């Protein structure tokens, strides 16, 4: 049984120890943005930033929140009748016409690809009955996500009093939104047809950057050029946000390239994974499984040394209840313990009364099983 425990554990060690050797992470590149954040969303680690918590107008980056709120409350095939007040909104448009009917999905594509301000208004009225009511939903979601320096007054991002966010808050929002398959599919679409319209995504990184996934462009004279991007390579994902960036495309390429060159995300283990088996004494099973209580995800610099270990007893006594703690898994980076989680028993088993042993028999059997 001791060998079984070692085999299960070594599988996970082999999977994570091959970390490419490289020099320590260099300084982040210089960029044109007045404010920016480069975030690794799986761990919430900010790798580089400038004025990331300064409140600024964010123009159409707002529509990331708009789409996320809509997707939480609607299905894509719901019909939306276009009323006159949804049309003729200033700025970018998908050119809605009063009297036509589109689906929520078609409006979302018009919102996120063509950056339609008219689509934003139509969705706000459909979901909440009006702009102020929809803004309340946006602010509720911002509070839920911990976006402490954000306030939304409308669904499209046109300049308005009380409408602002930060590079960091937008990175948190985008990282969360990209976990939705529907959202990720929409913002990752280069072009599509919606209600007889040809829509082309304004996000040029989808064509120009390897691993680009989305997310949204934005511009007003007051806000300047804004861009939120998500990119992933070999299991490592970054969210990059620039606000007021004259050279935003090159800014994102430089920051993302720097991130991929210097950092790696490692999913060490997933919640519920079997990590070890230990012998069981006086039970109806010969051994019990220990499973991970939670995910362990780690961000490291290229070249870091990663070690994983478990601390478990040599055996257990029945009865055992599934979900009870039975050990610990820990992760060390460069010799320093960085994370640890509990290992839980994976099965419930009662004591086998026919196998009830004297204390001396228990000790003898324990040694036999431990050194088998």
Q: Is there a catalytic annotation at residue 294? A: no
- The pair phi, psi for residue 123, each rounded to 5°, is -65, -40
Residues 6+ apart with CB under 8 A from 97: 82, 87
- The pair phi, psi for residue 159, each rounded to 5°, is -55, 130
CA distance 76 to 192: 15
**Which residues are 231's β-sheet partners?**
212, 238
DSSP 8-state code for residue 30? P
Identify whether the C-beta of residue 92 lies closer than 8 Å to the C-beta of residue 117.
Answer: yes
Q: Is there a catalytic annotation at residue 180? A: no
Start-to-end C-alpha separation, the chain: 7
Q: Residue 1 corresponds to which tokens in the numbers above?
A: 């049984």
Q: Which of 92, 115, 229, 282 is catalytic?
A: 115
The sign of the torsion formed by the CA atoms of 357, 362, 364, 368 equals positive
DSSP string, 340-359: EEEEEE---B-B-GGG---H
Q: Which of 35, 60, 92, 244 is catalytic?
A: 60
Residues in the chain: 372
Q: Is there a catalytic annotation at residue 63? A: yes
Burial class (CB in 10 A: 0-12, 13-18, 19+), 241: buried
Residues 6+ apart with CB under 8 A from 237: 40, 41, 42, 178, 213, 230, 231, 265
CA distance 109 to 107: 5
Active site positions, annotated? 60, 63, 115
């Amino acid at each position: 049984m001791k060998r079984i425990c070692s085999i299960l554990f070594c599988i996970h060690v082999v999977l994570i120890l091959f970390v490419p050797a490289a020099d320590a992470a260099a300084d982040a590149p210089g960029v044109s943005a007045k404010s920016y954040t480069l975030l690794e969303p799986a761990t919430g680690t900010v790798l580089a930033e400038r004025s990331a918590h300064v409140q600024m107008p964010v123009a159409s980056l707002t529509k990331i929140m708009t789409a996320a709120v809509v997707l939480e409350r609607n299905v894509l095939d719901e019909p939306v009748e276009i009323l006159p007040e949804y049309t003729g909104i200033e700025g970018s448009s998908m050119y809605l016409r009063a009297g036509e009917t589109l689906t929520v999905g078609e409006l979302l594509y018009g919102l996120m690809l063509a950056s339609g301000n008219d689509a934003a208004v139509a969705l706000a009225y459909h979901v909440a009955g009006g702009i102020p009511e929809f803004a309340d939903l946006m602010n509720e979601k911002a509070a839920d996500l911990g976006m402490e320096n954000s306030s939304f007054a409308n669904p499209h991002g046109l300049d308005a009093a009380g409408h602002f966010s930060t590079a960091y808050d937008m990175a948190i929002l985008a990282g969360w939104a990209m976990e939705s398959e529907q959202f990720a599919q929409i913002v990752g679409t280069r072009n599509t047809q919606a209600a007889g319209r040809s829509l082309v995504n304004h996000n040029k990184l989808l064509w120009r950057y390897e691993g680009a996934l989305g997310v949204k462009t934005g511009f007003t004279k007051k806000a300047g050029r804004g861009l939120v991007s998500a990119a992933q390579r070999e299991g490592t994902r970054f969210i990059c946000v620039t606000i007021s960036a004259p050279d935003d495309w090159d800014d994102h390429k430089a920051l993302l390239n720097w991130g991929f060159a210097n950092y790696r995300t490692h999913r060490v283990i997933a919640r519920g994974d079997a990590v070890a088996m230990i012998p069981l004494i006086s039970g109806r099973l010969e051994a019990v499984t220990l499973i991970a209580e939670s995910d362990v995800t780690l961000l490291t610099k290229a070249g870091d040394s990663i070690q994983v270990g478990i601390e478990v007893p040599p055996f257990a006594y029945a009865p055992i209840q599934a979900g009870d703690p039975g050990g610990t898994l820990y992760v060390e980076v460069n010799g320093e313990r960085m994370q640890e989680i509990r290992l839980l028993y994976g099965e419930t088993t009662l004591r086998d009364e026919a196998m009830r042993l004297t204390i001396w028999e228990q000790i003898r059997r324990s040694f036999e099983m431990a050194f088998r």
